[in-house]
């Protein structure tokens, strides 16, 4: 009988799902930029880099994390189903990923998904159907992309509404990108730290 060997993060079979996720998220960034060019949207001009934007992004992420923490503490059945999904699906996927990889996954998700859903869809449709229908449609599509369960669809749609409202209010795409990135990174780190 051989001794137990811990999984090796450099093993290509073990790292394939993480590499696939990184490639998908990078693909979303590219898709958003290409769609932006096709539809004449200057997404880069929507990114206003400033200390105030960073502060708003961190504050917005803290607010979202506080709401998530409150929800996490609830003993509702659908919340437990979400926790179970995170433990059973997400934790094994990233268990052996180095911290830099987690950071890159969260960063690419924040950049790509916000460029696509807030920048291209919400921003692009704003002038066509109006800001509120554009916000609603972008949020529903964001929820649908994350629809791993009904509860996750609802939660992601509400999060999409939140980040869309922030974008609508500030006009700065950098702020929802920071909120999304920081939220994903903290949640990934939390679930991986508490996996035992």
Could you give the number of structural domains in the chain? 1
Within-domain flag for 28:
yes
Q: Residue 1 domain-assigned? A: no
36-48 mean pLDDT = 93
The answer to the question of residue 4 being in a domain is: no
How would residue 8 be classed by pLDDT, with cut points 50, 70 and 90?
very low
- Structural domain contains residue 11: no
Supply the pTM of this predicted model.
0.86
Determine whether 36 is exposed, middle or buried from the number of CB atoms within 10 Å of its CB (0-12, 13-18, 19+). Answer: buried
**pLDDT confidence bin for 101, thresholds 50/70/90:** confident
Question: Out of 57-61, 83-87, 99-103, 173-177, which region has the weakest mean confidence (pLDDT)?
Answer: 83-87
Q: How far apart are CA 119 and CA 17, in angstroms?
A: 28
* Alpha carbons 148 and 155: distance in angstroms, whole number: 11
On whether residue 42 sits in a domain, the answer given is yes
**pLDDT, greater one: 149 or 107:** 107
Residue 6 in any domain: the answer is no
Q: Give me the half-sphere count of Cα atoms (radius 13 Å) on the Cβ side of residue 122.
A: 31
Q: What is the pLDDT of residue 176?
A: 98
Lowest-confidence region among 66-80, 85-99, 144-158: 85-99
pLDDT at 122: 97
* 110-114, 135-139, 150-154, 177-181: least confident range: 150-154
Asked if 91 and 195 count as a contact pair (C-beta separation under 8 A), the reply is yes
Residue 109 lies in a domain: yes
Domain that holds residue 34: 16-193
d(C-alpha 82, C-alpha 143), whole Å: 14
- Per the domain annotation, does 158 fall within a domain? yes
């Amino acid at each position: 009988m051989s001794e137990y060997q811990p999984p090796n993060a450099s093993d290509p079979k073990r790292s394939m799902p993480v590499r696939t996720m990184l490639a998908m998220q990078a693909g979303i960034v590219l898709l958003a930029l290409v769609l932006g060019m096709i539809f004449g949207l200057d997404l880069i001009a929507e990114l206003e880099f400033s200390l105030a934007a960073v502060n708003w992004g961190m504050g917005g992420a803290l607010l979202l994390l506080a709401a998530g923490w409150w929800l996490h503490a609830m003993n509702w059945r659908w919340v437990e189903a979400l926790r179970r999904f995170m433990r059973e699906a997400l934790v094994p996927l990233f268990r052996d990923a180095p911290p830099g990889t987690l950071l890159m996954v969260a960063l690419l998700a924040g950049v790509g998904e916000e460029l696509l859903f807030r920048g291209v869809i919400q921003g692009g449709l704003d002038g066509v159907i109006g800001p509120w229908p554009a916000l609603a449609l972008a949020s529903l599509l964001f929820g649908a992309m994350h629809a791993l369960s009904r509860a996750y669809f609802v939660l992601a749609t509400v999060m999409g509404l939140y980040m869309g409202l922030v974008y609508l209010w500030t006009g700065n795409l950098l702020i929802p990108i920071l909120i999304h990135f920081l939220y994903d990174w903290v949640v990934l780190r939390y679930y991986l730290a508490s996996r035992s």
